[in-house]
Amino acid sequence: MSQKTKKKELTGQQAPQRAPSGPEKREFTGQQKKEYKDDFYFELKGKAVNIFSSNGELIKGIIQDTSRYMIKVDVGGKVLYINKAFIQKISLI
C-alpha cells in the first residue's frame, strides 16, 4: 500500500469522489428551458418582401416559414429555400 492510503485508513477518511467526466445529462421540462429570439424573421412571416442575396440577386416573394438556418419563400407559385447566411438585406414591399 502507498503511504497516502495508509494515512487515510489510519485517519478514517475516505477518498474524495471524482465528478464524472463529460457533460451532465439533465432533463428539462418546457418550463425550465429559456426561450429567446435568434432573429426577427418570424415578424416577416406571411409578408411580401424583397430579398437581396450576397451574390447581388434580387428575389421578390412571400415568406412562408422560417427555421434556424433557412427561410421558405413563395416566388410566383414556386417554393424557394434560402440559407440565411447568404441573405444580405430584406425589405418589405
3 state DSSP class of 89: strand
Fold of 38-93: SH3 type barrels. (2.30.30)
- In the predicted model, what is the mean pLDDT of residues 73-83? 97
Query: pTM of this prediction?
Result: 0.59
* CA-closest candidate to residue 60, choices 42, 73, 72, 41: 73
pLDDT confidence of residue 38:
73
pLDDT confidence of residue 66:
93
Q: Tell me: the pLDDT tens digits for 10-63? A: 666 666 666 666 666 666 665 666 666 678 888 999 999 999 999 999 999 999
pLDDT confidence of residue 71:
96
- For the CA atoms of 5, 6, 11, 15, what is the dihedral angle to 10 degrees? 10
DSSP letter at 65 equals: E
d(CA 92, CA 48): 6
d(CA 71, CA 42): 10
Every domain of the chain and the residues it spans: 38-93
